[in-house]
Amino acid sequence: MPTTRPKTRAVTANREQLIARVRADLAECGFFVTEPHNLRSVSFDAIARKGDQLLVLKMLSNIDSLSHSDADDLRALAATLDASAIVVGLHSSTAELEDGILYSRFGLPILTAASFEALMVEGLPPLVYAAPGGLYVRVDGETLRSVRETKSISLGTLAEAAGVSRKAIQMYEAGMGAMVEIAARIEEFLDEPIVVPLNPFEFTSEMADVMKALERAEGANKEIFDMLREIGYLVLPTRRCPFDAVAREEELLLTGIGGDEKLVERKARVVGDLSRVTEKKSVIIVQEGSKVKAIEGTPLVSKDELRRADRSEDLMELIVRRQKKVRR
């Protein structure tokens, strides 16, 4: 059975080095990457885009520090942006993570830095995934059944060679994953490959879990979210993001809610950077109007201006008009 052998760069010893390494890998293979945001309590470390592929990334020294709510935030954000969420980590609380293995926690795929580099830079996906009870591989059930039947090998014969039950062979043929050692014995007996690579970016959880964002308390921003909904937007509040919601209609908005002046400036810069990378429209809703209509390319719209919008098109026209003024 073939194995993935990621090449290794300099040893990645801490989270800062890990973030730098992942950003370098993404840049090497042609991704546009958001600038480091340096904001505390934000659920992601980078968003990257290459063509139609959009990634939401979190880098952790200890993957056990990823909480259930953190994972919900990442998955919800990825779902609303039509992106894939992935975590790159160094170790768990008990051991170093192994290269070439796909781990998971709370429905999120996790790779080591070397495995991420192998996948993105060299195009070598992992073959093995960690699950309760050991290490497993994905079996091509149709190929397994076809080879077995072509060679006139009975379920019982193959089960005996693999050291499992007939029922287990039937389950492998139905697409169930197999432990690494068992898959290796089957491949050796059949003299044919049956293991297929894993795609971490297709590692998704139930949409019902992702949409938990809709159930979150909206607090002081509820009035603004209600106004956006009234003109036709589906509003998904976010937590631990530099923006407060994602509003969807024909175009997608990254919507920040302005507070004090310094916070508005910081949010506008970060949201503007995210907007450029994701190619989504962005806006900051502020409590009161001002002479400043945009910061770092991000339009500012007052609550009164939002209240006067009758349709989503009215808001979008205002946003586009202010973006054009900035570019002149």
pLDDT tens digit sequence for 36-54: 766 556 678 899 999 989 9
Identify whether the C-beta of residue 281 lies closer than 8 Å to the C-beta of residue 302: no
pTM of the model: 0.73
For the ranges 8-12, 44-48, 125-129, 233-237, the lowest mean pLDDT is seen at 8-12
Q: Could you tell me what percent of the chain has a pLDDT over 90?
A: 37
SS3 132: coil
Indicate if the pLDDT at residue 205 is higher than 50: no
In this predicted model, which residue has the larger pLDDT, 290 or 307?
307
Q: Of 39, 14, 187, whose CA–CA distance to 90 is shortest?
A: 14
Q: Could you tell me what percent of the chain has a pLDDT over 70?
A: 85
The reported pLDDT for the residue numbered 37 is 67
Mean predicted confidence (pLDDT) in 166-184: 90
pLDDT band at 87 (very low <50, low <70, confident <90, very high): very high
Please state the φ and ψ torsions of residue 250, each to the nearest 5 degrees. Answer: -70, -40
pLDDT band at 11 (very low <50, low <70, confident <90, very high): low
Mean predicted confidence (pLDDT) in 18-38: 89
Residue 38, H or E segment = none
SS3 240: coil
The reported pLDDT for the residue numbered 6 is 44
SS3 content of the chain, % helix, strand, coil (to 5): 40, 25, 35
The reported pLDDT for the residue numbered 4 is 43
pLDDT band at 125 (very low <50, low <70, confident <90, very high): very high
Beta strand pairing status for 234-237 and 46-50?
unpaired
The reported pLDDT for the residue numbered 233 is 80
Mean predicted confidence (pLDDT) in 102-111: 90
- Tokens for 6, please give them: 């990621």
Q: Which domains does the chain have, with CATH numbers?
A: 15-127 (3.40.1350), 134-196 (1.10.260.40), 216-327 (3.40.1350)
Cα–Cα distances in angstroms (integers) from residue 48 to residues 234, 246, 256, in the given order: 24, 17, 20
The reported pLDDT for the residue numbered 159 is 93
Mean predicted confidence (pLDDT) in 273-293: 83
